[in-house]
Structure 1
Amino acid sequence: MDARAAPAERPTRRARTGPDRRTFLRNSWLLGMGGTLGAFGLASIGFLWPRLGGGFGAEIHLGTVEGLRTAIEEGGGRFEYPAGRLYMVRYDAAQDPDGVYLDVTGGGPVMALYQKCVHLGCRVPWCASSSWFECPCHGSQYNRWGEYRFGPAPRGLDRFPTEVRNGEVYVNTSQIVTGPSRGTNVLGQPPAGSHCT
């Protein structure tokens, strides 16, 4: 008999289950990139998709004519609606015998003005002392109806079409109507006091 012991049997390796390390890392990387691109794509669509919930770019219901007229009076001559980027002002057809603003007002007693200055796009605030809209950026001034009065602006404030249906006021902020030319002064309103700009 041979005194040497028989060699020990090598343990058998278990068969691998699942992917190897390289496959796992590649799949993880692809899954991460796919998730990131998918989230970016959804965020881009959400950013570009118009919001139609009563804000800028939609038809906005502002309430009753009487309620809006009261809000305009309480606001010193204008009602501001920031979500729609607009001001509402009183409109009197008797002061507009040629009907210059009849189409944009729909014959109603109110007019919607875009808050953006037509010069370089700054927001134009209301000046309580002059009762005009006065741009703080470059000094353009507009009367209560948004007609050009002074400054570098090329025309009056742009407007939004307004419609009164069953005593309720609707403003279509998806359609911007170009403001009146520099020479238009239908309202003929002088400043009520000192200017803010």
Structure 2
Amino acid sequence: MATELRMLRDVEWNAWSDTLNRAFGEPPPSPEQRALRRELTETGRSFGVWDGADCVATAGAFSFGLTVPGGAEVPGSPGAAGRVEVGAAPAARTYRTPVDVVLEVTDPFCPWNEGRRRLTGDGSGAVCVRTTDPAELALSVRELGSAFLGGFSLMSLAAAGAVRELRPGALAAASVAFGSDVAPWLPHGF
């Protein structure tokens, strides 16, 4: 079997996409889904392994922007899935109600994220800066990310033991502020 690895060509997209669907066990896409996938595929960042005229393997990188509650796009997006700056992410969104809270963040994977940050924001924007002020909430970067995207409330995370309230009243106020009417959603399964 002689195979060739090469960058995807526009004329090969249908065969490439069909192989990708089979690899993930997906049913054939609707015409609308197929058109959206075609639009999102960056041929210059997608590759196929070809055995003659047959595509037998696929690989690709897709650029997705990350839009957060309030409709803002996170700086550094596309590629926002790799966010590693605790101060940048919370400042990139808006908040349901005014928020002023000091977060004690732990992050064993990216230790530069650890420490205290004061998050101050409202419906028009936010800032999140390092501080030496006493912490009011303690949480890991994982829980901060969940709250940041509006998925699970800080109150729910605290009830599960993942967030600690260090100043009475800080948890309820921050939980409401981080709330969102729109749940996180990724329209592309992978």
Tell me the TM-score normalised to structure 1 length. 0.25
The structure with the greater share of residues assigned to helix is: 2
Higher relative contact order (CA 8 A, sep 6+): 1
